[in-house]
Amino acid sequence: MNRTDTTSEAEQVLLDIYRRMPPAVKFERIFSAYELGKLLAMAGLRLMHPDATEKQIWFLWAKRHLGEKLFNEVYGDIPDE
């Protein structure tokens, strides 16, 4: 059962393109995708916490991104503003 709308031929073309792509371009694509994901996650947090400051939104995102244990090890107890 095929769970994608991409044919195997199209997937092969894409893989060939990625194989020929310089590492710097691959890195830029990965970084851009990560940043887009972060922006989307933060937009969702703004919808859930409309009264939060940008700093609070960033800390909410960081806690979700890192997990509570690592977040607390890195940032400690962040007071509410």
Along the chain (81 residues), what's the average pLDDT of each consecutive run of 10 residues?
78 94 96 97 97 95 92 79 50
Report the predicted TM-score, pTM, of the whole model to 2 decimal places: 0.71
**Structural tokens at position 11:** 């997937």
CA 38, CA 42: separation in Å to the nearest integer? 6
H-only helix segments in the chain: 8-20, 23-48, 54-66, 68-75
Q: What are phi and psi of 21, to 5 degrees?
A: -70, 135
Distance from C-alpha of 46 to C-alpha of 54, rounded to nearest angstrom: 9
Q: Which of 11, 62, 12 shows the shortest CA–CA distance to 38? A: 62
